[in-house]
Chains A and B, each alone.
Chain A
Amino acid sequence: MITTPTKLVNAKRTKDSPVKSSLFRQSIRKLSKNKLAVSGFVVVILMFVACFIGPLFSPYTDNKINMAMMNKAPHLKHWLGTDALGRDVLTRVLLAGRISLTVGLASMMLSVFIGSLLGALAGYYRGIVDQIIMRIADLLLTIPSLPLLFIFGALLSEWKIPTDYRMYIVMLMLSFVGWPGLARMVRGQMLSLREREFMQAAVVLGLRDRRKLFNHLLPNIVPLLIVIATLNIGGAILSESVLSFFGLGVMPPTPTWGNMIDAANNMIDFQERPWLWIPPGFSIFATVIAINIFGDGLRDVLDPKQKR
């Protein structure tokens, strides 16, 4: 291991710098060849555009109830029909998409942020920091997540959080149960990266901790993080729907795909009113599948060796 350090660093640099400058462009080029991934990406973007811009063109954004228009099948005025309170399903699906997509994105970012930060700290500093962080993660991992979510759901109502902010709570809950697994993975990566030659070189060079951590270690796990993050968005959207099923999700009348589909989750609506469950169901399905396919494509490009 005690080879001439300067040589090693130089070698690394010459090898690294050209790759680094074009890594991004190179990845894009590679990715654009993967038609499946591109189409996934397009669907996700379309979904975002539709949900965030679409409702602006709807005459029904006030979400007003209209008893005279209960449960109408799709027709000219209401392209996707109306629900049990006479509200326009199309508008609601789009508005719901805003919430669901935001919840998915935000809870992903939060858990990736917490997870990678704590995992990186643990893996880098080891010793007592590692002990504390990983023991907490171990502890949280021993408690099954759904019961944990139930308890949180019940606890949080005590905190007097206005219903309108319920969606932030849902995000917090999801990222809280999501981070330990991620932290563990990042820590593992860190531990193995630490032992790599370029890091030993960095140690010999006497670089500061922060520089080592942020300039040398973290960039190496960014591809992994990007992939995980993408795949996590889909997971979070699904989790929100499961929370809605248990009544712990975002509260109606604020629509989400999850609570819309839950509201139509009964035999009569299955049979009589497909327009109540197909739109939110299809939205979840299309979004999650598109995000996953895109994430998978990203993985192939960024990190061909990474498993799972």
Chain B
Amino acid sequence: MSTYLSKRLIYMFLILFAASLLIFCLYALTPGDFISGNIKLTPERKAELRDIYGLNKPLLERYGIWMSNAFRGDFGFSLAQQKPVLQLFNEYIWNSFLLAVVSTFLTWVIAVIVGVISAYKQYSWFDTLVMVAIFAAMSIPSFFIGLFLIKILAVDLKWLPPGGMLTTGSNATGIAYLKEVIHHMTLPVVVMTLLGVGSLTRYFRSNMIDVIKQDYIRTARAKGLTERKVLFTHALRNALLPAITLVGFELPALFGGSLIIEKIFNWPGIGQLYMQSFGLRDYPLLMGFTMFIAILTVLGTLISDILYHVADPRVRLQ
């Protein structure tokens, strides 16, 4: 296990190193830089500013500087926001995390319940209905359904706020604050859950169908256990086991924010910050964010593999 881990860790570093180089080059190749967006500047002043920011240095040198700073935990200052990149992450990521964690939780709960029932009643009208509903939810462009729900639920019916995270100007604390946030996050969470629940439900359904056909389920039934017990203690547990590996893959999504949902619902998350920074070519922030996601992805994969081993000790780690 420990040799495996150390091997994996070395590999992770190599991949991340390669990723950082690739990301850096891609951003550097992207036309325009932070200075070029400000067309009010004279060409001389632009050159001066590029000099101040070090944007005129050779690519590899810039990468070297960035990398050596990053190793020391210094991801630099955002050019547009004039703040340390890490501080900005701290200000925005938790808002994204809140949305993601709640909607992921809901997605899983719904997917498990619906998946189990529709697997159990495979090819029944309920199953068919669920399948159609699932595919329907997966078939709408997210940006469209988002604005559409705002129009109906916020603008016309005024049941929910049209965006943001707090009532503007509110000084609520404690329970009142919590209520306010829940009120504001309802719409984005509903949309995120709607978009994510489909594929997961299908996953659980097919897992469950496989498990139900296994011999030990037949045995359990033969023992005379109640159907409910067979389904929820014997079958579900085995159907859930492989899903544990998915947990790791959710990691980047939990912290990475959602570019579309946050933009539409005016949510102060990292995804929206990224979008704005991309338009401005705020390289320190863009690099920092993309690397952050890369690290989470690699970590997530590792966690998945380990969990897989834990869930099914027959799987050897190599």
Taking beta carbons and an 8 Å cutoff, which residues of A are in contact with B?
Answer: 36, 135, 138-139, 141-144, 146-148, 150-151, 154-155, 157-158, 234, 238, 241-242, 245, 258, 261-262, 265-267, 270-271, 277, 281, 284-285, 287-289, 292-293, 296, 305-308
Contacts and interface: CB of A to CB of B under 8 A. Distances in A.
A242 B199 contact: no
A135 B15 contact: yes
A139 B22 contact: yes
B191 interface: no
B260 A142 contact: no
Given A151-B26, A267-B155, A288 B138 contact: yes
A305 B139 CA distance: 25
B74 to A, nearest CB: 22
A307 B26 contact: no
12 contacts: A139-B15, A139-B18, A147-B286, A242-B141, A261-B141, A265-B143, A267-B155, A284-B139, A287-B139, A289-B135, A296-B135, A296-B202
Contacts of B148: 270
B276 to A, nearest CB: 12
A293 B131 contact: yes
Given A143-B294, A270-B148, A289 B29 contact: no
A75 to B, nearest CB: 25
Contacts, number: 119
A270 B151 contact: yes
Given A147-B290, A157-B31, 19 more contacts: A36-B132, A142-B19, A142-B293, A143-B293, A144-B256, A154-B31, A155-B29, A242-B141, A265-B144, A270-B148, A281-B141, A281-B144, A285-B136, A288-B139, A292-B139, A296-B135, A305-B210, A307-B206, A307-B207
B165 interface: no
B140 A285 contact: yes
Of residues B32, B131, B141, which shows the largest number of chain A Cβ atoms within 10 Å of its Cβ?
B141
B256 to A, nearest CB: 6
B298 interface: yes
Nearest to A34: B123
Contact of B31 (A144, A158, A284): A158
Nearest to B293: A144
B128 A36 contact: yes
B30 interface: yes
Nearest to A286: B139
A258 B141 contact: yes
Contacts of B260: 242, 245
Contact of B141 (A144, A238, A267, A307): A238
B63 interface: no
A254 to B, nearest CB: 18
Nearest to B152: A270
Highest count of chain B CB atoms <10 Å: which of A241, A270, A306? A270
Contacts of A270: 147-148, 151
A308 B204 CA distance: 8
Interface string B18-30: 1100110011011
